Amino acid sequence: MYQINFNSPIHIYFIGIGGISMSGLAEILLSEGFRISGSDRTPSPLTHTLEEQGAVVHYGQQAENITADIDLIVYTSAIRPDNPELSTAGRLNIPTLTRAQLLGQMMKNYQVPIAISGTHGKTTTTSMISGILLEHKADPTLSIGGIYKPIGGNIRVGSSEYFVTEACEYTNSFLSFFPKIGIILNIEEDHLDFFKDIHDIRSSFHRFAELLPADGTLIISGDIDRFEEITEGLSCRIITYGSSAGCDYHPAGITYDASGCPSFHLMRRSGKEDVFSLRVPGEHNVYNAVAAIALADLLDIPVETTAAALRSYGGTDRRFEHKGEVNGITVIDDYAHHPTEIAATLTAARELPHKTTWCVFQPHTYTRTKTFLADFAKSLSLADEIVLADIYAAREKDTLGISSQTLQAEIEKLGHRCYYFPSFSEIESFLLENCTKGDLLITMGAGDIVKVGDHLLQK
């Protein structure tokens, strides 16, 4: 594998430079004196930011973009071998690294690289941890999978020993990492277009945990089914958190304010107890916060600093994000695209004052929709009214005979009314006609369903 010498900056070309993670890595390397160029399909705020910082961005992926002065090509798992730029790199014998391999090499440059993994909650927990380190004036380098307003984006370049990043299991990406501290929030079935089954997924997370050195630490949820199998044979320190008093950390006495935001007592195995309050709703965020608190304790951050950071944490873009109001209807947007995430979001919504909850859901990938069809129907039925958009294909093609109308039929089998419209404009017209003052409207999914709420708020 090609090894980067960070003391000798080179010219690196990113195929898909506008992605949330790729753009962040490019921005860090720009700050380190590397020459950066790349390509993406269309301009975006992320590519504009890179261009302002000196990167050269091509729009459209074409063979002629790859020139002999490029020292290294970086690409994501979404790039196919026949991609014209990747193919040209091979013909010119230009070395290549995957995004995950590059990120792993970058982690080696920091004394305390921290990787947050799990099927759900990575972006929120990473942002909470980021806020705690910033409140502590620790000057961390941050790579977050969403837009975090306090840093004005998804990346922050610091000068301390701390490097914080999300660690995604898809295509085993996180197995290219070199963390000193790892967090595993949860392990569930997902990405079954890559993994064979839940056993394959659990094996991947176990291998991730094995990456931690003997002087490192794994923070893991004790609510994970048979979590001891994940920690078996590890030489590092293990800290558990979860709903059980048998964990090193667990919350108790959870209450909610008028906005659905929780407060809780944090119970430690040591006997020390503290009270924390959050500005983001939902019980699932209590457990994200507990994981962040366990890390803060490990880093000897004063509890007052941690509590202040969590009190001020207002979320990240597309994570139960309050977008505004139209005609007295509150519009929320959320990235949830897995049944467990949907259930957590809709359960959190119940704590907010409202009349009727409308969930406008855009399924993400045909594989996921088919695999979890019954679970999607059950989770979405927690909403009062359900509206479906067409499936967002992402990296897939429609070869499975599945559609949003299939999901609609599954929901209706449960005795729950469900609407389907093939276009966003039809969805928007329907919502304007049927939502009333005091209703809560949640656009939900990992695709571009956010546009529905944005368009409504412009009317």
Give me the active site residues, please: 122-123, 166
DSSP β-bridge partners for residue 116 = 166, 183
Q: How far is the C-alpha of 383 from the C-alpha of 336, rounded, in Å? A: 14
The answer to whether 222 and 247 have CB atoms below 8 angstroms apart is yes
SS3 156: strand
Neighbour tally for 173: CB within 10 Å: 23
Q: How far is the C-alpha of 389 from the C-alpha of 426, rounded, in Å? A: 10
Closest listed residue to residue 227, CA positions, set 212, 211, 247, 245: 247
385-388 and 11-15 strand pairing: unpaired
Q: How far is the C-alpha of 361 from the C-alpha of 106, rounded, in Å? A: 37
In this structure, what is the dihedral angle of CA atoms 133, 134, 136, 139, given to the nearest 10 degrees? 90
Q: List b or e across 64-82, with b for residues whose CB sees 16 or more CB atoms inside 10 angstroms.
A: ebbeeebbbbbbbbebeee
Closest listed residue to residue 311, CA positions, set 272, 257, 354: 257
Angle between helices 45-52 and 20-31 (to 10 degrees): 10
DSSP β-bridge partners for residue 155 = 143
Q: How far is the C-alpha of 19 from the C-alpha of 30, rounded, in Å? A: 16
DSSP symbols for 78-117: TS-TT-HHHHHHHHTT--EEEHHHHHHHHHTTSSEEEEEE
The length of the chain in residues reads 459
Secondary-structure breakdown of the chain: helix, strand, coil percentages, each rounded to the nearest 5:
35, 25, 40
For the chain, what is the largest distance between any 2 Cα atoms, rounded to a whole number of angstroms? 64
E strands within 62-207?
72-75, 96-98, 112-117, 141-148, 153-156, 162-167, 181-184
Angle between helices 122-135 and 303-312 (to 10 degrees): 120
